[in-house]
Amino acid sequence: AYIGQERRRIADAVPGAIFEVKMDNTHPLAYGLKDTYFSLKTGTASYDFLQSGWNVGRLSEDLRYIGFVGSHAQKRLQNTLVFGVESIGQGQVVYLVDNPLYRGFWAAGTFLMSNAVFMVGAE
């Protein structure tokens, strides 16, 4: 029935929530960061873990967040990639599922982006 339409729609939504991301701070993408990073999600974009690459930042099964996340969206975001690096040919692809520079208010996000540009692939 139409009466339950809004409730069904918000079950799939992430209008804005800050998630705790587990980081592998031994990887160049996360150099200088702590073992946790707080990432702002404004949608349900997510990737599965990389099979051949480095899953540098990930959401675990035990999601920790502040904000609103619909019940269906919570299930889809469990055990997903947030930041990763994969070698392709002679280069590397950096996966940034969430925008670390969103509105410029996260200092760690600018650090992460600098690492993506200057540290990943540097030998």
- pLDDT single digits (tens) 75-119: 999 999 999 999 999 999 999 999 999 888 788 999 999 999 999
pLDDT for residue 123: 59
Distance CA 9, CA 53 (A): 34
pTM of the model as a whole: 0.89
pLDDT for residue 32: 95
The stretch 15-20 carries a mean pLDDT of: 94
Q: Which residues contact 64 (CB under 8 A, 6 or more apart)?
A: 19, 20
pLDDT for residue 103: 84
pLDDT for residue 116: 97
Tell me the average pLDDT of the chain. Answer: 93
pLDDT at 72 over 90: yes
**3: confidence class by pLDDT, cuts 50, 70, 90:** confident
3-state DSSP assignment of residue 11? coil
Distance CA 88, CA 93 (A): 7
Compute CA distances 97 → 34, 47, 61, whole Å: 19, 7, 17
Report the candidate in 59, 47, 57 with the shortest Cα–Cα distance to residue 27.
Answer: 57
